[in-house]
Structure 1
Amino acid sequence: MATTPSREEILQAVERHVSRRGAGVALTSAGAADFSWQSVFECRIVRSVERREETHRREKGRQSAPAKRATYTDLDTHPVPPPGDPARTQRFVLVREGTLDELVCEDCEGGRKDCDVCAGRGGQDCPRHVECEVCHGGPDACWECDGTGHPRSRRGRKTAVRPQGAEEPERAACRRCRRPDVACPNCLGERQTRCPVCTGSGTAPCTACKGAKRVRDEACGGTGRFTVWTEGVITRTPHTEETKVSAPPFLRIRTDKWHDRTLNTVDAELPGFLEDEHHKLATRLLIARDGEIRRRVTIRYLPLARIAVRTDPDRVYYAYPGPDDIVVCRRPSKERLTALAWAVLTVIALVTVVALTLLR
């Protein structure tokens, strides 16, 4: 495991970094620099959370799958090995001992029942006659009597007088008024024809059972029975949470000297290399949750120091353990960045004033 450099070691590393730029400074003396820890911390936990649920099942027909499943007597105490990896999802489907049974369907006989549409008669009432599809049951049924059987005139006519502008289709003798060549050739002036479905009998085969009177019972799937049992389901689902303290956004850290620790039990102690702030964050995160049966906690910590040199207020230094030695990075201080921002705003304001003056 990586070791944390001491305050003196870090200050000496910053001294060497500054001296390479031609400016000697002694930082280990009292009051020469402001030193603070801003360490990077990551804590991630993967929990395996277990849920146990019991339901009553009822399925169509004879089911073979429930008989092949493991049985239990008390779901809450039924032993199931915990997952080796808490990130793995598990699901166990069990059958309560003594509950598997078959029941006869009470709504049918052998999977068939009377048709609901025709009430088991096999047929349905049907109109004996339907409107003529040629003349549509209107006055065109007969040019002489309009399909009423009463001619327009009491005087007999040898030849019917067709309406002006009427087409000259084949016409037939009217069965009602007996006049030739005046009636619809389809209904012969009667306005209706025999129903093609029942052929005039007044009864048609049922559209649902096709005259069979009985149909398949969909409730039991045509089997005439149900399989019933009490089912217990045990699920293990991974839940992931994390907390972290990141490095400053402008600082890119490259090192393999992280402090790493993995914890696998609820009572495992947090590592001693954590600072008080990080210890509090991890403690809140690692509180056991309802149904938690296994966990994996990954902790990463990198000591990061911030050093502000009193004689150089425009810069701030960050230091952390690197692959071979302590890595020191120099960045502009907050005061320096604020001064630069005001300078930029001042230049923009001056340019704006000059531009407005020239445009007048």
Structure 2
Amino acid sequence: MLGDEEVLEAVQGYIEERGESLAETLSGASAITWHSLLKGQIVRSIESRSEEKRLQPGPLDLSGHPVYDTIGDYQIPRPRDPAEQRTRKMVRRGSIDERSCACGNGEVRCPRFEGEGKIRCEQHQPCGSCRNSTCCLLCDGAGRSALKPAETQAAGGSLQKAGGDTGDRTRCYECGESDVACVTCRGRGRVQCTTCQGDGSRPCPDCAGDGKVTHEHCAGTGRTVEWTEGTITRTPRTDEVKLPEPGVLYWARRLADQHATWTPTTLTDDDPLRACVQKDFASALKPLLRPQHQEIARRTKLEYVRFVKVAVDEHPHRIYYVFPSRGLPKVVMRPSPKRTWQIVGIVTGLLLLLVLINRFIA
């Protein structure tokens, strides 16, 4: 730990290294303020326990699972590392129930169309080529023409134009005339269903026409296993520690992170820093160290440092920070708060002056 005399010697040596002199020693012309910082993590292992009914299709071997009687009384060792995630699955004693499924053989009747294994469909579909409008230029699929026989041959060309069909024509299946019917449906206006091939039904896609489907409850095995599963989960939770929260400037903490040698502390009974840390941060540490709900283990990894802020009468616009280090104390100089605000004011004034000059020139 640094002492006041060691701190002042370090500051005086720093000033002299900069080529500056002091009218008197610092012992009576300086103000010393001590600060303490604590940082690190508290990692806790939080345990939760639960039970639920489980069902597994088919035979299942649960003999390798740990067995328990009461989930709350089951004991397992404390975790070696609280930061490790762990989950243990167990089986409640006497809860395993393996039985045959009500389906018997793993199959049930297909629910579609009462298990017939077929889906009904239309034997014929509208012709996609003529769209039921000009299937035959003379009879339009009716089988008889409205024209007289003598007019049929003469009117053939005009009917073909009137029908609006520019594709090839063939003999009509209904009226027997040549070159008047749609080549796809041959004057019928409809075509055979390509799915059922005109049969009027097709195999059910669920059961492939068999009328039976796999029973979901037992996954087709014809057996099920039920049991009560207990689960113990240990989840790590990390609380960051950064004390004190108020009262120390952000950049002062940054300086400590950059230049100070922090000392590890565990806050255990044999920790030499425990008394210092408790004295500086007792009220702030108390809620952090209080056991949390369902906490079963913890790991405390903290670091402590005590540094000094020195104000020298001959240098009223400077602040000297002294940090403990592995060698000699580390001294870092920064402008005092008053000088910082003065610099900010000067910079702000210069910026405003530049703005005014730019406006005047424009």
Q: Same fold (TM over 0.5)?
A: yes
Q: Deviations over 1:300-356 (max 9, x none)?
A: 111101121234312222223232333333322222222333344445556666677
Aligned residue for 1:235?
233
**Higher share of residues assigned helix:** 2
Q: Does the 8 Å contact 1:129/1:200 carry over to 2? A: yes
1:109 is displaced (CA, Å) by 3.5
Q: Does the 8 Å contact 1:159/1:180 carry over to 2? A: no
Aligned residue for 2:125?
130
Aligned residue for 1:251?
255
Residue 141 (structure 1) aligned with residue 138 (structure 2): no
Aligned residue for 1:76?
72
1:192 is displaced (CA, Å) by 3.5
Residue 295 (structure 1) aligned with residue 298 (structure 2): yes
Q: Give the one of 105, 124, 130 matched to 1:110.
A: 105
Q: Deviations over 1:193-247 (max 9, x none)?
A: 4545445443433333232111222342211222211111111111111222466
Q: Does the 8 Å contact 1:129/1:194 carry over to 2? A: yes
1:289 is displaced (CA, Å) by 0.7
CA RMSD for the aligned pairs? 3.3
Residue 89 (structure 1) aligned with residue 89 (structure 2): no
Name the amino acid aligned to 2:225. Answer: T
Residue 49 (structure 1) aligned with residue 43 (structure 2): no
Hey, what's the Cα distance between the residues in 2 that align with 1:9 and 1:157?
A: 130
Hey, what's the Cα distance between the residues in 2 that align with 1:264 and 1:93?
A: 34
> Any idea what SS the aligned residue of 2:91 has?
strand
Q: How many residues align?
A: 347
1:168-247 superposed matches below 5 A: 169=168, 171-172=170-171, 174-175=173-174, 177-179=175-177, 182-184=180-182, 187-245=185-243
> Any idea what SS the aligned residue of 1:77 has?
coil
Q: Does the 8 Å contact 2:137/2:160 carry over to 1? A: no
1:184 is displaced (CA, Å) by 4.5
Unaligned runs of at least 5 residues, structure 1: none
Q: Does the 8 Å contact 1:147/1:189 carry over to 2? A: yes
Q: Does the 8 Å contact 1:13/1:328 carry over to 2? A: yes
Name the amino acid aligned to 1:80. Answer: I
Hey, what's the Cα distance between the residues in 2 that align with 1:75 and 1:53?
A: 8
Hey, what's the Cα distance between the residues in 2 that align with 1:190 and 1:255?
A: 98
Aligned residue for 1:336?
339
Name the amino acid aligned to 2:24. Answer: V
Q: Does the 8 Å contact 2:65/2:90 carry over to 1? A: yes
1:296 is displaced (CA, Å) by 1.0
> Any idea what SS the aligned residue of 1:274 has?
helix
1:56 is displaced (CA, Å) by 1.1
Hey, what's the Cα distance between the residues in 2 that align with 1:18 and 1:197?
A: 98
Q: Does the 8 Å contact 1:144/1:161 carry over to 2? A: no
Hey, what's the Cα distance between the residues in 2 that align with 1:232 and 1:288?
A: 25
Aligned residue for 1:6?
3
Hey, what's the Cα distance between the residues in 2 that align with 1:249 and 1:18?
A: 23
> Any idea what SS the aligned residue of 2:259 has?
coil
Unaligned runs of at least 5 residues, structure 2: 244-249
Residue 120 (structure 1) aligned with residue 89 (structure 2): no
- Percentage identity across paired residues of the two chains: 31
Name the amino acid aligned to 1:189. Answer: G
Aligned residue for 2:96?
100
Aligned residue for 1:67?
63
TM-score with structure 2 length normalisation? 0.81
Q: Does the 8 Å contact 1:242/1:285 carry over to 2? A: no
Hey, what's the Cα distance between the residues in 2 that align with 1:244 and 1:95?
A: 44
1:171 is displaced (CA, Å) by 2.4
